[in-house]
Structure 1
Amino acid sequence: MLERILRAAVPAVASAAVATIAVDGRTVAACAVGEAVRYADASERVAADRPPVTLGSVFDIASNTKPFTALVLLSLVAEGRVDLDEPVATWLPRHYGERPEITLRHLLTHTSGLPASRRVEREPAELRWELVLSTPAERPPGTHLYSDVGLITAGRVAEIAGGAPLDLLVRERITGPLGLAGTLYRPGPSLLPRTVATEYKADRGSGCVRGEVHDETAHALGGVTGHAGLFSTAGDLLRFGEALRTGGAGAVRPDLAAEMVRDQGVAGAVYRQGLAVRIGDPAIVGPLTEAFGHSGFTGTSLVVDPGRRLTVVLLTNNVHPVRGRPGIRELRTAVADAALRLA
């Protein structure tokens, strides 16, 4: 069933699609369909070299980076280095000293009022972080507005409180303890043969982006941010989802893992909001209406249904070679429906 679903979507929705479904921690279905690189440019000219995608292929997981950032911060909460309800000004006094009402919880629940994005790739490199961190709010705190700026800021707070760069914090606190060897920022040349291509960007070289972050702001800020930048495999993302489903084992205390996936009571969203995860988001969970998870702009998603003991990973390159290709929501729903049938 899973293979049929993916084959119906490739290459119309994406040139590559990998899905994995686990019930109670046991993989019950896994499939890889398509090509890691299919197109040479935005005209959809077919590339000369089209390596097949595999279960071990490495994808740019885009906003699925956000739950990793949240888990890093929760590990710092456990050590008393941060408090979710402290003002962001505690760590960023120069940027948030005049807005002490904004807390770390606001950042993680997208209720800071900060705008969705702040594009800085055309600005001088030495000014980019300053411009992002000083981004003014668009709405009052408490207003739900999905914000990459908020998670970028949360990642910077983690670096200050944790005393290390975010990529090192993710490795030491999350991917290392959980054994996620294929999950990392800025994958090196050795992983390039396994890495799946994304969008064609004329300003990035002669072909489609491959092996560097797709997100423009993350790329402009050096490739390591709280909102995007991680690359991962289906197996690793499944293990990460299982860690959240089973109480954060190996990464954070059970009570903190539970806080991350708890409905935070945010009004105004079409789904229930956890800490950098969505609960019951119809765009990704399909019939698994009590599931939590996240999606990524590149065409990725992680869905965890604790009640059914289900974890579902779908990795695609829906933006290859151009963004806006239709069908990704329908594909996510079809994979979630297949998971429900296997539960």
Structure 2
Amino acid sequence: MRHGSPERAGLDATHLRRLVDDVRALTAGEQPWAAGAVVVAGRGPVIAVEEAAGWAVRYAAWDERTGTAVELPPAERVPATVDTPFDLASLTKLFTSVAAVQQIERGTLGIDARVGAYLPDFTAAAQHGVTVRQLLTHTSGLRPELPLYDCADDTERLELLRAEEPVTAPGTYRYSDLNMLLLQHVLERITGRTLDTLIHDGITRPLGMTATDFGPCPGAAATEDQRRPWAKADRGMLRGEVYDENAWALGGVAGHAGLFSTARDLAVFCRTLLAGGSYGPARILGPDFVDLLLTPPGLGFALDQPWFMGELAGHGAAGHTGFTGTSLVLDRATDTFLILLATTVHPRRRPPDSGPRAAAATTLARAVLPGRGHERATARSPF
């Protein structure tokens, strides 16, 4: 990928200036939407926007007595830069999904195979006939999460996962972190390798994504002053340690959360999928399997969701959000991508607000100039 002018990318410069101004405004004031943010946007192989705003570290703590954030002295704050890594939270699910489709392409994993065929010791999933496709499409019927962070040890955590039964009939959509945790166990069982190794060897290393890895990540943007009762664990101010309590309890490597990355690295990931699974000399998936990944209803990727994709939704746009304030959208119809990494949980979590994410995606959608040779029809999967 290369940096270039909006015009070279086939994007309107006025709209892109508005995108940058809006992201800067999100980090301004005493109670900003996010303490810090980085936005990268482009079309084709051109990065037309790469900007940082606000702070990677702004607060020392959350004062529960006054209900206010405790600001660090200005000299101790850390500004956000375009190279700042962020806790990706649920964007991790995209990488787990790609790792799974890689195994489907290789023939070592069947998309409609039953989980019990690979994990017979996960008796509840086996008895209910949960399939790999259902894990990838959040239609297994499993509840959103389990309190693995309250378990005494890994043995107890594993027993909870093995015994967890669907709470609704398999085939019904119900978003759940447990889907990706079970998928992680499937991938590790069939390959004999850990998930972090699969993602490194199969995705980030061949693509040159050197800033993308599971933690710890000492230079990352800070997240939450994590304490009960608002959180599920007492860990204090987090920086470079995974935010998600279950991923933390599992040692920082989990199918649903745990990765840290930069916006620039994620731009490479987007470009690879937009180009049919290849980037330069590297190939992580064949075009048919990218289509499988991104054909409705999507495998791990959310498709055409206006609540965070804005006007990019509607023609096969794909992506995901993360609870820490992260989002990624790629649109194959216009060959565009948008990454917004932010710290909306610094210094304390709050109810999610995806309005700014949707607004940013809408601004990019309106920036697309016709007739620049990037538009193409979205291919349909043969699977």
TM bucket, shorter chain: over 0.9
Structure 2 partner of 1:133: 162
Structure 2 partner of 1:239: 268
Matched, 1:339 2:364: yes
Tell me by how many angstroms 1:139 deviates. 0.5
Cα distance in 2 between the residues matched to 1:325 and 1:279: 23
Structure 1 partner of 2:298: 274
Cα distance in 1 between the residues matched to 2:126 and 2:319: 33
Matched, 1:52 2:76: no
Cα distance in 1 between the residues matched to 2:308 and 2:110: 30
1:149 to 161, 168, 178: 178
Structure 1 partner of 2:149: 121
Cα distance in 2 between the residues matched to 1:24 and 1:98: 43
CA contact (8 A) 2:114 2:126 kept: no
Structure 1 partner of 2:52: 32
Helix, strand or coil at the partner of 1:41:
strand
- TM-score under structure 1 normalisation? 0.92
Structure 1 partner of 2:121: 94
Matched, 1:214 2:243: yes
CA contact (8 A) 1:129 1:221 kept: no
Number of aligned residue pairs: give it.
Answer: 328
Q: 1:223-234 residue pairs with structure 2 within 5 A?
A: 223-234=252-263
Structure 1 partner of 2:324: 298
Tell me by how many angstroms 1:117 deviates. 0.7
CA contact (8 A) 2:44 2:335 kept: yes
Q: Deviations over 1:186-242 (max 9, x none)?
A: 134xxx23x10111113554x421101101111111111111111110001111111
Cα distance in 2 between the residues matched to 1:3 and 1:247: 29
Matched, 1:199 2:224: yes
CA contact (8 A) 2:122 2:161 kept: no
User: What letter corresponds to residue 3 of structure 1 in structure 2?
Assistant: V
User: What letter corresponds to residue 302 of structure 2 in structure 1?
Assistant: R
2:110 to 49, 72, 83: 83
Cα distance in 1 between the residues matched to 2:138 and 2:342: 25
Helix, strand or coil at the partner of 2:330:
strand
Matched, 1:107 2:107: no
Tell me by how many angstroms 1:2 deviates. 2.4
Q: Percent identity?
A: 37
What RMSD, in angstroms, separates the aligned Cα atoms of the two structures? 1.5
1:329 to 350, 354, 362: 354
Structure 1 partner of 2:98: 71
Structure 2 partner of 1:268: none
Helix, strand or coil at the partner of 2:321:
strand
Helix, strand or coil at the partner of 1:36:
strand
CA contact (8 A) 1:88 1:100 kept: no
* Residues 1:133 and 1:13: Cα distance change in structure 2 (over 3 Å): farther
CA contact (8 A) 1:37 1:50 kept: yes
Helix, strand or coil at the partner of 2:47:
strand
User: What letter corresponds to residue 224 of structure 2 in structure 1?
Assistant: E
Helix, strand or coil at the partner of 1:111:
coil
CA contact (8 A) 1:111 1:142 kept: yes
Matched, 1:3 2:27: no
Cα distance in 2 between the residues matched to 1:316 and 1:338: 17
Cα distance in 1 between the residues matched to 2:221 and 2:119: 36
Q: Deviations over 1:36-85 (max 9, x none)?
A: 01111123100232111001100001110111001111111122111111
CA contact (8 A) 2:115 2:126 kept: no
2:198 to 160, 169, 173: 169
Matched, 1:312 2:345: no
User: What letter corresponds to residue 162 of structure 1 in structure 2?
Assistant: T
User: What letter corresponds to residue 90 of structure 1 in structure 2?
Assistant: A
* Residues 1:113 and 1:325: Cα distance change in structure 2 (over 3 Å): closer
Helix, strand or coil at the partner of 2:59:
coil
* Residues 1:204 and 1:184: Cα distance change in structure 2 (over 3 Å): farther
CA contact (8 A) 2:312 2:365 kept: yes
CA contact (8 A) 2:121 2:162 kept: no
Runs of 4+, deviation exceeding 4 Å: none
If each structure's strand is expressed as a fraction of its own residues, which one has the higher value?
Answer: 2
CA contact (8 A) 1:318 1:325 kept: no
Structure 1 partner of 2:3: none
CA contact (8 A) 1:298 1:316 kept: yes
Cα distance in 2 between the residues matched to 1:204 and 1:24: 44
Larger of the two Rg values belongs to structure: 2
Cα distance in 1 between the residues matched to 2:169 and 2:318: 26
Cα distance in 1 between the residues matched to 2:261 and 2:83: 9
